[in-house]
Amino acid sequence: MQNARSLAGVFMLVTVCGCTSLMPQTAALRETLSPELHGKVELKDVPFFPQSEFQCGPAALATVLNESGVKVTPEDLVPEVYLPERKGSLQIEMLAAPRRHGLVSYQLAPRFSDLLTEIASGNPVIVLQNLGFKENWHYAVAIGYDYGWGKLYLRSGEDPRSVMPFGISEFVWMRGGYWAMVALPPDRIPATADESRWLSAVAALERPDPRAARTAYQTFLKRWPENVNAAIGLANTHHALGELREAEAVLRRAAQIAPDSVIVLNNLAQTLADEGRDAEAMQFIDRAAALGGPFASAVEETRKAIRAGLKR
């Protein structure tokens, strides 16, 4: 009851006092969060890893990775994200590390409603908080909320179920620029995913794990079948994995959607040439060359190589 009173107090503080500059998004949640999510959610099965000193980064990451089906411990992740001299983990490395385990990392839009929407759709979210008076950065994992009472539940530090009023959560989170991320298996798409930002997130997986990236592109194309850039990405992963026929099929379909894409034509020509079909390749590369544009020099190189192949 005491808890409820102080919570009500926080809300009063927000509404009556007009302290909305400290927690602007909390005050606007009624409008920004979709009404069917105005309930209570708690992802109780999300594992908990108590952090050892300074290592909230590995602990938070292990929490999310295990939930996405990657069996790792925080100790496994220390060499992947922890920086001894900084006594902490950088945001970019938190995003990069899940890719080494075949997951797609996605930085959420800086919106409280997006954070809650991801939780409601079953995805625990890593948030960066500044808990001190100056700079005391901390990663915690948001795993639930109670909209009615305005409470956020987190796996945080040594506390398996830290309860924080929305206003305070926003205040400590705002100081880190509302930074939040999810890491999902390649056959899933976050609830709040934006088409072009999600595509960049998938493309980032190409180098570290082309197989997982292939799955992620296929999942992407089921949702957004007309996205030519995703088709280019899928074809590139097929090509990198030596699946030339599949790459060709994807690029031919893309060439139907976007007949004037220089990249599609160039990559299709290259793929055909790799299949030993130089004459066919030549038709496509000529079309690409005629279109010009920023990739003209790359196209010219491809053309030279195909010509050399024809002469042999």
Partner 1 sequence: MNAWAKIISRLLIALMIWTPYQIATASMIGTDQVVASTSQADRTTVLNFLSRSDVANKLQSLGLDPTTANDRVAAMTDQEVQSLAGRINSMPAGGLSDGATVLLIIVIAAAVWWFWQR
Q: Is residue 305 packed enough to be buried (19+ CB in 10 Å), middle (13-18) or exposed (0-12)? A: middle
Q: What are phi and psi of 100, to 5 degrees?
A: -70, -10
* Nearer of residues 33 and 127 to partner 1, judged by Cβ: 127
* Nearer of residues 40 and 87 to partner 1, judged by Cβ: 87
What is the pattern of x (binds partner 1, CB under 8 A) and - over residues 165-184?
A: ---x--xx---x--------
- Stretch 53-82 residues interacting with partner 1 (CB under 8 A): 53-57, 60, 79-80, 82
- Stretch 235-264 residues interacting with partner 1 (CB under 8 A): 236, 239-240, 263
Q: Are 22 and 171 in contact (CB under 8 A)?
A: yes
* Nearer of residues 67 and 80 to partner 1, judged by Cβ: 80
What is the pattern of x (binds partner 1, CB under 8 A) and - over residues 207-236?
A: xx--------------------x--xx--x
Written as six digits, the tokens of 236 are 């590139």
Question: Contact with partner 1 (CB under 8 A): which of 162, 252, 275, 280?
Answer: 162
* Binding range to partner 1, per CB under 8 A, among 24-32, 37-45, 109-117, 298-306: 298-306
Q: Under the criterion CB under 8 A, does residue 295 sit at the interface with partner 1?
A: yes
How many residues form the binding site for partner 1 (CB under 8 A)? 79
Question: Contact with partner 1 (CB under 8 A): which of 20, 32, 130, 218?
Answer: 130
CB of 4 to partner 1, least distance (A): 12
Q: Under the criterion CB under 8 A, does residue 138 sit at the interface with partner 1?
A: yes
Q: Hey, how many other C-beta atoms are within 10 angstroms of the C-beta on 242?
A: 9
Name the residue among 104, 115, 122, 130 with its Cα closest to residue 187: 104
> What is the rounded distance in angstroms from the CA atom of residue 24 to the CA atom of residue 21?
5
Torsion of CA 89, 92, 93, 95, to 10 degrees: 120
- C-alpha to C-alpha distances, 247 to 239, 259, 304, nearest whole angstrom: 6, 17, 21
* Binding range to partner 1, per CB under 8 A, among 38-46, 48-56, 111-119, 141-149: 48-56
Q: What are phi and psi of 113, to 5 degrees?
A: -65, -30
